[in-house]
């Protein structure tokens, strides 16, 4: 045992008549009893050795304490209060050990889950700090999973589409601590200027989508979208409107074909195919 209750009032009441040497001998014998968790040796010399009693007055004090507070049994000198405390302590040990084992298993499961989360994040291209909390790792995984689901719906962007998509290998959940943010805030970017043909509300919605995906809209990216819109036979406004409707951060002409998407064009686009001569439409 490494601990036992010591009631000062009870002890003082029962030992107030002891001399300093006897009080010291009694405390040492009780400590030895609890540490060994068994009775004191039957031989006086062995008991004196436990109490470190070397002089005759010290050995006399040990003998007096044994006679008053202990009783001789076949396995040594016993003490009723010490035996009761030891029995209670030993009865609790199986529960204590079971609790410790449960704690160890829980810690092992937590460590294994953290290893799995770090591995899953690396598959998404995210390297989280070693001291990230479990809550922060969950937030990163949720963010990465949401991005992966969106990429699956809108078709993966190939490497030759660098004009319309900025690779985001270190995206972070918005509510995690600043220690996890990998965005280089010292890097300067020049945002594109709204073209006159694009309405303000469409432009604002599209910039919000880009901002949410941590993909600033540069002149290079906007030029790429213009080129893809031309290939698709639609205006830049129509391309950006489609992006806002579908949550796209970029645009590619083949997406309209692959997804069988029909973009509505203004009525003016059909003027060339209509007849305005005699008998034609007015």
Nearest to 232 by CA among 247, 243, 220: 243
pLDDT of the chain along its 282 residues, tens only?
Answer: 777 888 899 899 999 999 999 999 999 999 999 999 999 999 999 999 999 999 999 999 999 999 999 999 999 999 999 999 998 888 887 777 777 777 888 888 888 888 888 888 888 888 888 888 888 888 888 887 776 665 554 454 444 444 455 555 555 545 554 555 554 444 455 678 899 889 998 989 999 898 888 888 888 889 999 898 898 889 999 989 989 988 888 888 888 765 555 555 554 444 444 444 444 443
Instruction: List, as one string, the DSSP characters of 57-77.
Output: HHHHHHHHHHHHH-EEETTEE
Instruction: List, as one string, the DSSP characters of 121-178.
Output: HHHTT----TT--HHHHHHHHHHHHHHHHHHHHS-PPPGGGTTT----TT---TTS-G
Q: Are residues 250 and 168 in contact, defined by beta-carbon separation less than 8 angstroms?
A: no
Contacts of 181 (CB under 8 A, 6+ apart): 172
pTM for the predicted model, two decimal places: 0.37
Nearest-angstrom CA–CA distance, 208 and 204 = 6
Structural domain boundaries in the chain: 8-85, 179-273
Rg (CA), the chain: 41
For residue 90, the surrounding DSSP H or E stretch is helix 80-123
């Amino acid at each position: 045992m490494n601990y036992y209750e010591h009631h000062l009032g009870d002890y003082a009441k029962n030992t107030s008549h002891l001399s300093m040497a006897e009080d010291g001998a009694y405390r040492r014998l009780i400590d030895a009893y609890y540490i060994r968790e068994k009775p004191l040796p039957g031989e006086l010399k062995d008991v004196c050795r436990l109490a470190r009693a070397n002089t005759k007055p010290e050995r006399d004090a040990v003998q007096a304490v044994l006679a008053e507070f202990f009783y001789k049994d076949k396995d040594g000198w016993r003490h009723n209060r010490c035996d009761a405390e030891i029995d209670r302590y030993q009865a609790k040990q199986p529960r204590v050990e079971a609790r410790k084992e449960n704690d160890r298993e829980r810690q092992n499961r937590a460590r294994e889950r953290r290893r799995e989360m770090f591995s899953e994040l690396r598959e998404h291209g995210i390297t989280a700090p070693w001291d990230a909390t479990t809550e922060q790792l969950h937030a990163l995984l949720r963010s990465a999973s949401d991005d992966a689901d969106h990429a699956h719906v809108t078709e993966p962007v190939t490497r030759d589409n660098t004009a319309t998509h900025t690779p985001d290998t270190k995206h972070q959940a918005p509510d995690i601590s600043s220690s996890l943010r990998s965005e280089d805030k010292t890097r300067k970017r020049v945002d594109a200027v709204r073209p006159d043909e694009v309405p303000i509300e469409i432009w604002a919605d599209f910039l919000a989508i880009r901002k949410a995906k941590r993909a600033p809209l540069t002149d290079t990216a906007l030029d790429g979208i213009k080129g893809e819109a031309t290939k698709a036979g639609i205006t830049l406004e129509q391309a950006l409107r489609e992006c806002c409707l579908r949550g796209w951060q970029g645009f590619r002409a083949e997406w309209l074909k692959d997804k069988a998407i029909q973009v509505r064009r203004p009525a003016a686009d059909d003027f060339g195919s209509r007849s305005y001569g005699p008998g034609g439409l007015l």
